[in-house]
Amino acid sequence: MTTWAKLYANHRKLRTETDGRFETEIRKQLTKLVDAGHCAFARFSYRTNKKHKGLEAWEIKSTKDCDGLRLLNVDGFASIRFQVQVLFERRSNHLRALMAMAECVRTDGSPCVIAVHMPDDGPGDQQGLGACGHAAFHCHIGPSLDVKPQVRVPLPALSPSEVAQWVISQVVQDQAFEPAPWDSVNKALRDSQAIGADEH
Amino acid sequence: MRDPILSLLKAIDGERSGVAIVWCPDIGTRAWLVDRVESLVTESARPIRTASVEQAISEHNRLVLLIPTDERSTVLDMDGQRDRLLDEEAPRTYPVVLFLTRDGDGQRALAEEAPSLASWVRGNDTDPEELAEIDVDEERAKFTNEHGKSPEAWLEAWRAGVISRTPRHFSAAFWAMLLEGS
């Protein structure tokens, strides 16, 4: 199997391996943002449709019904609107669709969008020409989503909360918001090497 | 505002009352709702799960998630414990959150056999799953009004790549997917 085929297989696997705990993990991210003074109040809430039992549509709400979360006091940015949306089948633990996005305006007034997409697999998630040019789980980065070329950076199979962490880490350049500090990565590498040596 | 998470936050607000009730549509959903309530509190609440009313009362410095094995017995036990739960000398820091099944034995017992508990928890109960449920007809009309197409027609155009890829449209796609086929 090619790297691209393996990547797509991992994206499909992610859909069935995501469990309902993502809401707790995303809520922790929002609490961290509130505690650090990057937003005033945020909740990760959901809606359901009684005709599709168990299907939940999750999104970040700030005050009232405002769509997304305004991030404040972030170096280099005049404004950031952060949103995470998840369509999740609770009864079968199935991730149908995922989006995480930061719509930004830099302090020089220029726009920038970071948008992670995993399309709905109900009608099929094989879009574009193939798993390389249009990976099922990808990220757009640019001044807007429709500027050519519409670059789609393939992403590994990150869980919804890991995606939220990743997007936050791209705009809030602060050690407290780095989900994988090098110290912890190096420790994990040393630990895995020690286990490997023991096994030999 | 009909928001399930806000309603849960209000119900478990420790300043309000010693007891909150979370209504669950069925036992399977109850497990999710217990997890959800647990995820809404800070670590200092040290949430604990129990089926015992006695333990629920004694853990007055923790958020207690009371998950009955017999809903009627639990409601009747709680009904007789108001003074202990509201002990002014040892006020609760966090409430006891009682999970009961909608239209179940616990709800019947609360209405017919536990007047003290019923009056005490009034206003501190919530049915988050009911609050989360959208009014399908209203939402479909709203979507059609805002986007000029039914959710299905809009999604067909979206999936065909005819609709521009803007942040607003990506959000609309999630709204349409929730409404699709209903």
Tens digit of each residue's pLDDT (9 = 90 or more) over A19-48: 888 998 999 899 899 999 999 888 899 999
* Interval B67-95: pLDDT, tens: 999 999 999 999 988 888 877 777 788 89
Mean pLDDT value of segment B152-163 = 94
Q: Could you give the ipTM of this predicted complex? A: 0.88
Locate the domains of chain A by residue range: 3-199
Distance between B165 CA and the closest CA of chain A, angstroms:
6
Are B165 and A48 inside 8 Å of each other by CB?
A: no
CB pairs under 8 A between A and B: 97
CA-to-CA distance for A181 and A164, rounded, in angstroms? 16
Q: Which pLDDT score is estimated for B85?
A: 80
Are B167 and A101 inside 8 Å of each other by CB?
A: yes
Residue B19 has pLDDT above 60, yes or no: yes
Q: Which residue has the higher pLDDT, B179 or B88?
A: B179
Reported confidence tier of residue A64, pLDDT bands at 50, 70, 90:
low
Distance between A185 CA and the closest CA of chain B, angstroms:
26
Reported confidence tier of residue A66, pLDDT bands at 50, 70, 90:
low
Measured at the alpha carbon of residue B36, what is the angle toward residues B70 and A15, in degrees to the nearest 5? 115
Reported confidence tier of residue B122, pLDDT bands at 50, 70, 90:
confident
Q: Which pLDDT score is estimated for B140?
A: 96
Are A51 and B181 inside 8 Å of each other by CB?
A: yes
Q: What residues of A are in contact with residue B40 (Cβ under 8 Å)?
A: 27
Q: Which pLDDT score is estimated for A80?
A: 95
Residue B143 has pLDDT above 70, yes or no: yes
Q: Which pLDDT score is estimated for A135?
A: 94
Interface with A, mutate which of B152, B154, B177, B180 (most A CBs under 10 A): B177
Distance between B17 CA and the closest CA of chain A, angstroms:
23
- Write down the pTM of the prediction: 0.90
Q: Which pLDDT score is estimated for A22?
A: 92
Distance between A154 CA and the closest CA of chain B, angstroms:
18
Distance between B147 CA and the closest CA of chain A, angstroms:
17
* DSSP letter for each residue of B20-85: EEEEESSHHHHHHHHHHHHHHS-GGG--EEES-HHHHHH-TTS-EEE--SSHHHHHHHHHTTHHHH
| Complete domains list, chain B, with CATH | 4-132 (3.40.50), 136-179 (no CATH)
Are A47 and B177 inside 8 Å of each other by CB?
A: no
Measured at the alpha carbon of residue A163, what is the angle toward residues A158 and A166, in degrees to the nearest 5? 115
Q: Which of B38, B132, B165 sits opposite A146 (nearest CB)?
A: B165
* Interval A82-106: pLDDT, tens: 999 999 998 889 999 999 999 999 9
Interface with A, mutate which of B142, B174, B175, B179 (most A CBs under 10 A): B174
